[in-house]
Structure 1
Amino acid sequence: MTYLPLSPPGRTPLRVMTIAGSDSGGGAGIQADLRTFALLGVHGLVAVTAVTVQNSLGVKGFHEIPLDVIAGQIDEVVSDIGLQAAKTGMLASAEIIGTVADAWERQGLPGRVPLVVDPVCASMHGDPLLHPSALTSLKDRLFPLATLVTPNLDEVRLLTGIEVVDDDSQRAAARALHAMGPRWALVKGGHLRASTHSPDLLFDGNDFHEFDSVRIDTGHDHGAGDTLAAAIASALAHGYPVPDAVAFGKRWVTECLKAAYPLGQGHGPVSALFRLGEC
């Protein structure tokens, strides 16, 4: 695949922030985001929202970072270092979502810096990572600030009430998500397990863009959603139009799925490390 251009040695690369939770098992969250950022040649910035206690078998618990610390991480990085794009992951609560939205607006970033919102509601094992009361804040506060939202099908059902089972319901879900305020909505089809393909659908309020790939037969797909959103954010930082950034992210996560490896006794992570063998 064709990768993003790398900055020459000694020159400051583009900066992309992940506003997300820490995964103690290293498979998802900010750990997955930073791997993708590094291997795509962008400098990763971090605002940690929560610290999870998890391994390959599931999430055993999590601790929310104090709101002033979350806001401070965003404010201090933006005011000094600057950023060209950002993505969100685990935000855990309505209060954290409001804090992130407030910081984004306070720094004058809406409409100026692309924001990819990956609305993480639960882990791949079904462990809750977002308080149910926070769904309204996610839709009311953060979605209107988003360049793109990237829910999986379980998250689509929670957000819209639509069960995606075919092309028509996927299009209905994309319309419903877009009506919540983001500039673009991506309905990922990776959880359509009955399909031999992984169809993703992008919608901007007028036009649909379809992205398809053959499903990679692996039980090791931890962090796939984080990795996709991080790759899309990296491409947006380079100035890619949203459909091109999504196409790039789709190709990237497909290669990461091909390179996924076992870890522990449960689900292993998708792997951006394959790129090291190509450098």
Structure 2
Amino acid sequence: MSNREKPDQLTARNHAADDRLARDASVNERPADDQSASIDSSEPLPKPKRGRGRPRGQRNPRRLDAWAQEIYTAPPGERGDTGVDAKVVVSTRMRKPKVHLTAPTTVPWVDLPRYMGKWYEIARLPYFTQRHCVKDVYAEYLLGEDGMMYVTNRCTRKDGVIGQANGLARVVDQTSNSRFEISFRTLYGVHVLWDDYWVVGLGDDYDYALVGQPTRRRGWVLSRTPHPPEQAIKNWLDEFADKGFPAKEFIRTLQET
């Protein structure tokens, strides 16, 4: 049999093609009003919403809250692990100290061996990562042979668990040893997110220390004893005020030890 189409089949195909051409011509001849009614190009398309409707720059409060709880975790032995920390790798490249034109002045000299040891928190400016600490806040500093300071912060959290944060501090102003950088976060064994730690006040006998940041948004009153005299606390807060810190915004730390 031949593969050629029969005459009646060719006629049907030609009629179908003519019908399609007629429909296309009718669409092109549609009045302008009908075309504008179907598609309005002047109306802007709706913008897609950002992830979960949160504006740019606004942080997720749940993620921040989880980060704060991760900083003050339970100490070794209460987490079910061995308590053996992995080897800490620290970058040896020291960055230049930041320049703050209106920053508070620091003490002229800090004797690092004398500064080491246990410090009790007496008062502080509200700080997000310490929002779960309700009492018995203290820090212990240990000077390593490499010149780094190993920091251990502990506190009693709202749920009654003893929280612990392990950090590392380094001196960035070796002419006075009064400006540190401290980090409590690691990424693949390397400490990251270094914060300023400035000693703006220090007792002659190293019985108290006033620690803050150049922005004056964070500040801590530290003492060698958990229950210093009230007059001494007032004097320390006044010293903070003289440095430009908002002394009235400090909150007292409950010490039951």
User: Which range, TM-score by smaller chain?
Assistant: under 0.3
Higher share of residues assigned strand: 2
- Give the TM-score normalised by the residue count of structure 1: 0.24
Structure number with larger C-alpha Rg = 2
Greater share of residues in helix: 1
Alignment TM-score, normalising by the size of structure 2: 0.26
